[in-house]
Amino acid sequence: MAPAKILVVDDDPAIRNLIHRFLAKHNYQMESAEDGKTAMALFEQFNPDLVILDVNLPDANGYNLCQEMQGRTNVFVLMLTSRTDEADKIRGFSTGADDYITKPFSLGELGVRVEALLRRIRDIKPAEQQSLVFDKLAIDPVRREVTLNNQLVPLTALEFDLLHFLASHPGRVWRRAELIQQVWDYEYVGDQRVVDVHIGQIRKKIETDITQPALIQTVRGVGYKFEVPGMDGS
């Protein structure tokens, strides 16, 4: 299997080079950029599996870059920033970031986060290859596409994984911590509201009325469940 491709985007040469060298030693295929313009040019040529993206760049906003990159491919994005404010993290996740790490960080921790994200690019088992169809909503795990009323729904990589996981277990209620373990694939140490943010983003794209979601339902005090249309007994 070819080594995963990672693009590091940070205007601090010391941090950029440190991450580049560290991950290259772990046999990842690496490219680096110091600003948004170079990052987008490399993104087009290199087609990375993962982008480690600094929020504050001299010519670009990392949140906007994250959205632009994920609008083109299913790339995973790990946001890198000195900001520790919870509102910034929530904003990062709501623009499609898959994970978030604040400076200063240990290379060991970065390595674990990178490995966990890239584990999600895996061969889909035959049992998981069936498309899930619920009335006008169709989820295709092989193409990683969701359609609603025959229209393609633009989901980020993590939004797709979360929706597919919930829809694969209709009617089952999942706690936030369980969803983080199952979908993020490691013990996430941050605020569990990250689940709420992603659920909110998915609802905006697939629910008819986000104030009364029919598909992804909130179970108060517990978490979330996917309800098959017309099967909730109400």
Distance of CA 188 to the CA centre of its chain: 13
pLDDT of the residue at 125: 52
pLDDT of the residue at 217: 95
Same fold, 5-118 and 126-226: no
Burial of 126 (0-12, 13-18, 19+ CB in 10 A): exposed
CATH class for the domain made up of 126-226: mainly alpha
Q: Quick one: tokens of 18?
A: 């440190």
pLDDT of the residue at 85: 66
pLDDT of the residue at 95: 74
Find all residues with CB under 8 Å of 1, minimum gap 6, and list them. Answer: none
Domain boundaries, the chain: 5-118, 126-226
pLDDT of the residue at 156: 81
The fold adopted by the segment(s) 5-118 is Rossmann fold (3.40.50)
Q: What is the pLDDT of residues 131-147, one digit of tens each?
A: 899 988 999 988 888 99
**For the chain, which residues score pLDDT lower than 50?**
123-124, 232-234
pLDDT of the residue at 233: 45
List the alpha helices (DSSP H) in the chain.
13-25, 36-46, 62-70, 86-94, 107-118, 157-168, 176-179, 193-206
